[in-house]
Amino acid sequence: MARLEGKTALITGGGNGIGKAAAIRFAAEGSQIIVADFNLDAGEDVAQEIRRLGGEAKAVSGDVGDESSVRQMVDVGIAAFGKIDVLLNSAGGGSTRDGAVTDLELDEFWRTIRVDLYGTLLCCRMVIPEMVKSGGGSIINISSLRAVIGTQGADAYTASKGGVLAMTRAIAMQWAENGIRANVMAPGVVLTERVSAFIKKDNPVYQKSLLGPSDPIDVANLALYLASDESRKVTGAVMRLDGGASIY
Ligand SMILES: NC(=O)c1ccc[n+]([C@@H]2O[C@H](COP(=O)([O-])OP(=O)(O)OC[C@H]3O[C@@H](n4cnc5c(N)ncnc54)[C@H](O)[C@@H]3O)[C@@H](O)[C@H]2O)c1
Distance 144 CA to ligand 1 centre (A): 11
SS3 state at 180: strand
Q: Residue 153's domain spans which residues?
A: 8-238
248 part of a folded domain: no
> Ligand 1, closest atom to CA 19?
16
174 part of a folded domain: yes
Residue 136 Rama label (left phi>0; alpha psi -120 to 50; beta)? left
**Residue pair 134/176 in contact by the 8 Å Cβ criterion:** no
Number of domains in the chain: 1
pLDDT tens-place values along the chain, 248 residues long? 899 999 999 999 999 999 999 999 999 999 999 999 999 999 999 999 999 999 999 999 999 999 999 999 999 999 999 999 999 999 999 999 999 999 999 999 999 999 999 999 999 999 999 999 999 999 999 999 999 999 999 999 999 999 999 999 999 999 999 999 999 999 999 999 999 988 888 887 888 899 999 999 999 999 999 999 999 999 999 999 999 999 97
Nearest to 64 by CA among 101, 102, 92: 92
243 part of a folded domain: no
Whole-number Å distance between alpha carbons of 167 and 197: 30
228 part of a folded domain: yes
Helices (H), the chain: 17-28, 40-52, 67-81, 106-112, 119-134, 155-175, 193-198, 204-208, 216-227
245 part of a folded domain: no
Which residue, judged by its Cα, is nearest atom 4 of ligand 1?
190
Count of Cβ atoms closer than 10 Å to residue 22 Cβ = 30
Distance 142 CA to ligand 1 centre (A): 9
75 part of a folded domain: yes
Residue whose CB lies within 8 A of the most ligand 1 atoms, among 10, 20, 38, for a mutation test: 38
pLDDT at 42: 98
16 part of a folded domain: yes
Which residue, judged by its Cα, is nearest atom 42 of ligand 1?
93
CATH number at residue 41: 3.40.50.720
Q: Give pairs for 77-80: CB < 8 Å, separation 24+.
A: 77/8, 77/10, 77/34, 77/36, 78/130, 80/32, 80/34
131 part of a folded domain: yes
The finding on whether 115 has its CB within 6 A of some atom of ligand 1 is: yes
> Ligand 1, closest atom to CA 89?
41
SS3 state at 4: coil
Distance 211 CA to ligand 1 centre (A): 22
Active site residues: 157
Look at the pTM and tell me if it is higher than 0.85. Answer: yes
